[in-house]
């Protein structure tokens, strides 16, 4: 398990953070996601053997946002 922080600059309200956290339910290998509109960032704890940072970035993109590894 690793923890990685991504910057998501295009969040516009706290609901965006909720949407990003919902990836917990759909991304295999994710243990926990903490997204913050205040900080415009999300921290993902995931199993690096089952998931890559690129896959997370892609999943975030499907939600309508742009994530950049911090």
Partner 1 sequence: MTKQQNPFSDPVVLVTLGVVLVAVAFALLIFQPSGAQTIAPASGAWAQIVVAFVTGLTTGGLSCLAVQGGLLASSLAHQIEQDFLAHAPKTHPKKHAKKIESVPAPHANSALPIFLFLVAKVAAYTLLGALLGWLGSFLSLSPMTRAFLMIAIGIFMIGNALRMFNVHPIFRYFSIEPPKFITRYIRRTAKGADTFTPLFLGALTVFIPCGVTQAMMATALGTGSALMGAALMLAFTLGTSPVFFALAWLTTTLGAKLEKFFMRFVAAVVLIFGFVTLDSGLNLIGSPLSLQNLTRAWFAPSSASAPALDADGSLTVNVQNQGYFPRTLRAAADTAFTLDLVTNETYSCARDFVIPSLNFYQLLPASGTVQVNIPPQPAGTKLFFTCSMGMYTGQIVFE
- Positions in the binding site for partner 1 (CB under 8 A): 12-15, 17-19, 21-22, 24-26, 34, 36-38, 40, 63-64
Q: How far is the CB of 66 from partner 1 (least distance, A)?
A: 14
Q: Based on CB atoms, which residue is closest to partner 1, 13 or 54?
A: 13
Q: What is the closest distance, in whole angstroms, from the C-beta atom of residue 14 to partner 1 in the complex?
A: 4
* CA distance linking residue 54 with residue 6, whole number of Å: 11
**Residue nearer to partner 1 on the CB measure, 18 or 48:** 18
Q: What is the full DSSP assignment across 26-66? A: HSTTEEEEEEETTTTEEEEEE-TTT--HHHHHHHHHHTT--
């Amino acid at each position: 398990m690793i923890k990685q922080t991504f910057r998501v600059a295009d969040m516009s309200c706290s609901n965006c953070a909720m949407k990003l956290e919902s990836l917990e339910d759909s991304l295999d290998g994710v243990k926990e996601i903490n997204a913050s509109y205040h900080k415009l960032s999300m921290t993902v704890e995931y199993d690096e053997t089952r998931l890559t940072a690129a896959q997370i970035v892609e999943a975030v993109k499907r939600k309508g946002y742009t994530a950049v590894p911090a």
